[in-house]
Chains A and B, each alone.
Chain A
Amino acid sequence: MNDVATNILDVSDLCVDYASTTSFGVTGAPSVRAVKGISLTLQRGETLSLVGESGCGKSTTAMAILQLTPPSGGRVVFDGRDITGFSHRQMRPLRREMQIIYQDPFGSLNPRMTIADLIAEPMAIQGVGRSGNERRAKAAELLDTVGMGTRFLDRYPHQLSGGQRQRVAIARALSLRPKLLICDEPVSALDVSVQAQVLNLFSDLKEQFGLSYLFISHDLGVVRHMSDRVAVMYLGRIVEIATRDDLYGEPLHPYTRILLDAVAVPDPQIERARDHVLLQGEVPSVATPPPGCPFHPRCPSAMPVCSREIPPLRLHGNRQIACHLYDEAAANKTIEAAMDGNGNPN
């Protein structure tokens, strides 16, 4: 399963630091570790989602995989090549193969370019296609692929709806025939009816082009629909990673459980029957993470060991979990600690 040749992406122990800032700008203060040792693999044709609350490091992980934010530790292997620390120049030929789609379709499209030029631009930069006309023809074909007519070719982004702009962003990303598409909240700005159209488009394109997706979303319904596997992040770490069916069928990490519980299901009968555990408090800052398990101040199952030791991400059945509840050694230590408290000076 960890065979490099079969994986499109292999990320190991990825760390990202940001210079800590104050309202007066960058200070000499120590940097903040926003991503703390993320390891994941993405097989060809697979969709892996990253979920978690705002600020947990999903986008930072994506940017570091693309080397748009320099990783401060760990390794990123794309399609068998170690690209860790690659410069913009070194990354340029690889940009064809790994594309990103952002949440805000408006912000990511140059308002002064026509749709045809926007879709053709990456091809022009990469020297794909012999002439402008050939690229325009290709742009027309791509517009068709994403379900928009060629009548949009000479329009400008502001003349399109949010869903149409996101389709253009997808056409643009597809123009270079990428192997990996990273989607960072690609439907969060869209109305549900339009969101469904774009999600269906992602599913169709995956089949049509054999794409692999790293899919980032805070919407757990969307993630369930789109993913083969799901990684749940909390405060810069993965806390649970499992197949879609395992994770939604039986969430094991206390945070995953609470996250799923918080999602309101559009069915009053189910909702009235559910018993909700409201999560207390809010996500702590990555700058001042609590000691031990980062989730322990909010965790309903926290034990003494949780505030002392960071639980590593460990294999548990078919999935990986970072929680002392699934860690026998730690459970024994808890007992020892309790016994120590009964008179044995440590």
Chain B
Amino acid sequence: MPGSLEKSGPPILDVRGLCMGIWSGKTELVAVADVSFRAYSGQVVALVGESGAGKSITAMSLTHLLPMPPIKITAGEIRLSGRDMQTQSPKQIRDIRGNEVGIVFQEPMTALNPSLRIWRQIAEPLVRHRRLSWSAAKAQAINLLKKVRIPDAETKAEAYPHQLSGGMRQRVMVAIAISCEPRLIIADEPTTALDVTVQAQILALLTDLTRGLGGALLLITHDLGVVARYADWVNVMYAGRIVETAAAKNLYRDGRHPYTHALLASVPKIVGPIAHRLESIAGQPPAPSDGTGGCAFAPRCSRRTERCDERPPLGGDDRTRNGHLFACWNPL
């Protein structure tokens, strides 16, 4: 399923220099620092990284879903189809969310209303944003259930969330997310809780639908296999920063950041040679700090030098092309 690296028109999503702070009660810690990325029509763009890297709050910030307090945006710009998201009123944001932007989270059970029938939950954004009548919206909801390949859609439309399996509930979330034909779908670990066979079904569905609608998919995951299969462009996050960004094919073949390399080496694979020992990364990902200091990966990095006490900027060199950037003084 080759995607597209072509930039047809201006980006659908354009994030520049995004910074977020967490108020810890005493001081403000830096949760996300200087994050910039773009997603163009037809693209699947991945944010990949370990837990705590800042992926979810980055996703939540895009449509004003941050828990404020304690988290707030301290700098940066988020543009959706050219509009500055930070100057939108709460009403404008409500009009965008579920309409221009569809959202799929990891745990569908918490996102679905347990006491409403499935069709009602899919019909709701259609009634709200598209001003459909409830009966027209119901018919459309059943169509959407068919589109996400739920067997026996008419019956399932009448069910309540607890009557469906985890995979079905996640399909319902996808149906809700695509109901208003959004320009952007944000999927935060959409399949992490699901079995691998169901995961493959849902991700194929999400990427096909995105490309079919000419929209963009922001895929947030910790799974480098999923990224390799579905993403066109990848942003690797570590400790609140993007440490490497590249087209998927370049990142896997010619990754330059030691963290990217170490992460790839530490995944046990179903093909290729079997090493007796996996290459592991010593230590663990850091918690948010005051944001000062050098390279955040330094305590775990085997290529560390004195220079790493100073923060490496995100940039390229004569080996990188086509927007491939990394933040490291001693790249591979």
Residues in A lying within 8 Å of B, measured CB to CB: 53-54, 161, 163-164, 191-197, 199-200, 203, 218-222, 224-226, 248, 258-260, 262-272, 276, 278-279, 281-283
Task: Give me 18 A-to-B residue pairs in the complex whose CB atoms sit less than 8 angstroms apart, sorted by A's number.
Answer: A54-B195, A191-B285, A194-B284, A200-B277, A218-B195, A221-B269, A222-B268, A224-B274, A264-B226, A264-B229, A264-B230, A266-B264, A268-B252, A268-B253, A270-B228, A278-B200, A278-B201, A278-B204
**Residues 243-285 of chain B: 1 if any A CB is under 8 Å from the residue's CB, otherwise 0?**
0000011001100000000111011111100101111111011
**Distance, CA A263 to CA B225, complexed state (A):** 8
When A262-B200, A264-B228 are in contact, do A224 and B268 touch as well, CB less than 8 Å?
yes
Main SS at interface, chain A: helix
When A191-B222, A222-B268, A224-B274 are in contact, do A262 and B253 touch as well, CB less than 8 Å?
no
Residues in B lying within 8 Å of A, measured CB to CB: 1-2, 50-51, 151, 165-168, 195-201, 204, 222-230, 248-249, 252-253, 262-264, 266-271, 274, 276-282, 284-285, 300
**Distance, CA A280 to CA B276, complexed state (A):** 36
What is the minimal beta-carbon distance from B257 to any residue of chain A, in angstroms? 14
Specify the chain B residue showing the minimal Cβ separation from A207: B276
**Distance, CA A222 to CA B197, complexed state (A):** 17
Q: In the complex, are the beta carbons of A199 and B278 less than 8 A apart? A: yes
Instruction: Tell me which residues across on chain B come within 8 A of A265, comparing CB atoms.
Output: 225, 228-229, 269-271
**Distance, CA A260 to CA B267, complexed state (A):** 16
Instruction: Tell me which residues across on chain A come within 8 A of B228, comparing CB atoms.
Output: 264-268, 270-271
What is the minimal beta-carbon distance from A294 to any residue of chain B, in angstroms? 15
Q: In the complex, are the beta carbons of B253 and A269 less than 8 A apart? A: yes
Q: In the complex, are the beta carbons of B197 and A262 less than 8 A apart? A: yes
What is the minimal beta-carbon distance from B11 to any residue of chain A, in angstroms? 22
Contact among A193, A259, A271 with B197 in the assembled complex (CB-CB below 8 Å): A259
**Distance, CA A252 to CA B248, complexed state (A):** 32
Q: In the complex, are the beta carbons of B2 and A53 less than 8 A apart? A: no
Instruction: Tell me which residues across on chain B come within 8 A of A260, comparing CB atoms.
Output: 270
Which 5 residue pairs of A and B lie closest in terms of their CB atoms, listed nearest first?
A: A264-B225, A196-B280, A225-B268, A196-B266, A193-B281
Contact among B200, B268, B285 with A193 in the assembled complex (CB-CB below 8 Å): B285
Q: In the complex, are the beta carbons of B196 and A262 less than 8 A apart? A: yes
Please indicate which of the listed interface residues B2, B199, B262, B271 has the most CB atoms of chain A within 10 Å of its own CB: B271
Specify the chain A residue showing the minimal Cβ separation from B234: A268
**Distance, CA A264 to CA B201, complexed state (A):** 12
Specify the chain A residue showing the minimal Cβ separation from B280: A196
Q: In the complex, are the beta carbons of A272 and B2 less than 8 A apart? A: yes
**Distance, CA A83 to CA B228, complexed state (A):** 47
**Distance, CA A219 to CA B276, complexed state (A):** 18
Instruction: Tell me which residues across on chain B come within 8 A of A271, comparing CB atoms.
Output: 225, 228-229
Q: In the complex, are the beta carbons of B200 and A264 less than 8 A apart? A: yes
Instruction: Tell me which residues across on chain A come within 8 A of B226, comparing CB atoms.
Output: 264
- Apart from A193-B266, A194-B284, A203-B276, list 19 A-B contacts with CB within 8 A: A191-B51, A191-B222, A193-B280, A197-B281, A199-B280, A200-B278, A220-B196, A221-B267, A222-B268, A259-B197, A263-B225, A263-B270, A265-B225, A266-B227, A266-B252, A266-B269, A276-B204, A278-B204, A283-B165
Instruction: Tell me which residues across on chain A come within 8 A of B271, comparing CB atoms.
Output: 248, 265, 270
**Distance, CA A193 to CA B52, complexed state (A):** 13
**Distance, CA A258 to CA B199, complexed state (A):** 13
**Distance, CA A269 to CA B229, complexed state (A):** 9
**Distance, CA A91 to CA B246, complexed state (A):** 56
**Distance, CA A267 to CA B229, complexed state (A):** 8
Instruction: Tell me which residues across on chain B come within 8 A of A267, comparing CB atoms.
Output: 228, 252
Instruction: Tell me which residues across on chain A come within 8 A of B249, comparing CB atoms.
Output: 268-269
Please indicate which of the listed interface residues A224, A248, A264 has the most CB atoms of chain B within 10 Å of its own CB: A264
Contact among A163, A225, A283 with B274 in the assembled complex (CB-CB below 8 Å): A225
Specify the chain B residue showing the minimal Cβ separation from A23: B162
